[in-house]
Copies of this chain bind each other. A is one copy, B any other.
């Protein structure tokens, strides 16, 4: 299980790309490496790299490559996210998508082609780095499919698949011979290995950089979000989840309640359920302890319990904590919680959550090899096999599926939460066997649940 940190530069936050400093970067990354982390995730600002649709700044790409090299000098691998896009409540949208130039960023052919050109160029700029962990298409880009982010918001799920496929293909072109995966052709299944096949090698043994799509949790919890579980599971080389308990989870369960400290684990099991390929790695790419719902005094315990539960899931590529450094109080307008998510303070002092993280990293904690044998059935289809609207609401914090999963997890003999199996795939015996599922549990019919809203009012990292 990879153990890493989302890197938030101490000086100037992500605006530091405008004044790139190798020494500032080195100081931060040295601190991160000292925790025992094996990787960082980094975030170029899209309009800084691509200020005009047809201008991709070579110097900006060089800065990204330099960060990867500096990280390598401290033994850190690097995941590079392309489309930021959105970071900690702030949007960074190129001027060629604003006002007179407003277009659907997921469907306009010129925009998609130029966005792909950026993703390809960015991947190409770091393709030869031995410590490149992977390329994510962008940080929670699915936020741009709805308000308050710039309109239009008329993207369909199918258009989302076309976009995701184009972006993953672009990243792989950039990676060239180092790309490890084939894009699962959504709906065709042609390039998806047979579910009856043997389990893939463990995630950690993959040899090349991974291409991934990073979505925020509306993909899993909000039926109205055009980007959903299949976008996470059908594209790229791993299924990415971001766990933020300010989504209602902590309000419902308390900061150290089982539902809170198991939220990362739960998302990983949801991810595994939607994967078409058993053994596809699942990556908890963001998880943090937001102070608006987790008091600082609970942050260390939250961190440790979250990671230990995550390790109980199967096929875990890794966990990447958000984030390395507190945001400087000299910068304005961040939601309050964003200032205090660091494992380090802004001036580099290790915080209790950082100590907990480091202890876990150094403990050699690994994720489970054998999957939990019990699986809870998720009703993703209606009786006639057609997709069921409401599936995602059931999965959201407070939803009946979420409640049933949590109850099962808390009553399990080994403390591990159950796997999840989709109703639509329940009859696939080979799949169940490959996934190691020997016991099927249905959500109790008398269980009621009311999904909490997963809207994120100014609190979304």
Contacts and interface: CB of A to CB of B under 8 A. Distances in A.
B98 A95 contact: no
Contacts of A332: 52-54, 96, 110, 114
A457 B100 CA distance: 8
B89 A19 contact: no
A458 B100 CA distance: 6
Copies in the complex: 2
A99 B459 CA distance: 12
Contacts of A413: none
Contacts of A98: 90-91, 93, 150
Contacts of A206: none
A28 to B, nearest CB: 18
A21 to B, nearest CB: 11
A97 to B, nearest CB: 10
A100 B52 contact: no
Nearest to A86: B99
Contacts of A95: 90-92
Contacts of A330: 54-55
B149 A18 contact: no
B99 A52 contact: no
B13 A99 contact: no
A18 B96 contact: no
Contacts of A19: 57, 59
A55 B149 contact: no
A148 B99 CA distance: 5
Contacts of A114: 332
Q: How large is the interface on A (under 10, 10 to 19, 20 to 34, 35 or more residues)?
A: 35 or more
A54 B101 CA distance: 28
Interface in A73-102: 86, 89-93, 95-96, 98-102
Contact of A101 (B48, B59, B333): B333
A436 interface: no
B96 A333 contact: yes
A148 B96 CA distance: 13
A19 B331 CA distance: 24
Nearest to A96: B333
Contact of A96 (B55, B90, B110): B90
Interface string A423-461: 000000000000000000000000000000000011010
A331 B90 contact: no
Interface string A138-156: 0000000000111000000
A178 interface: no
A86 B101 CA distance: 12
Interface string A48-78: 1001111101011000000000000000000
Contacts of A15: 51-52, 55, 57
A92 B60 CA distance: 19
A186 B251 CA distance: 51
Interface in A102-148: 102, 110, 114, 148
A12 interface: yes
The residue among A92, A101, A114, A330 with the most chain B CB atoms within 10 A of its own CB is: A101
Nearest first, the 8 A-B pairs at minimum CB distance are: A15-B51, A90-B95, A53-B332, A54-B332, A91-B99, A100-B458, A99-B148, A52-B331
28 contacts: A12-B55, A15-B52, A18-B59, A52-B331, A52-B332, A52-B333, A53-B332, A54-B330, A54-B331, A55-B330, A55-B331, A86-B99, A90-B98, A90-B99, A91-B98, A91-B99, A91-B100, A93-B98, A96-B333, A99-B148, A99-B150, A100-B335, A100-B457, A100-B458, A100-B460, A101-B333, A101-B458, A110-B333
Given A55-B331, A91-B95, A101-B458, 4 more contacts: A18-B51, A52-B333, A90-B98, A96-B333
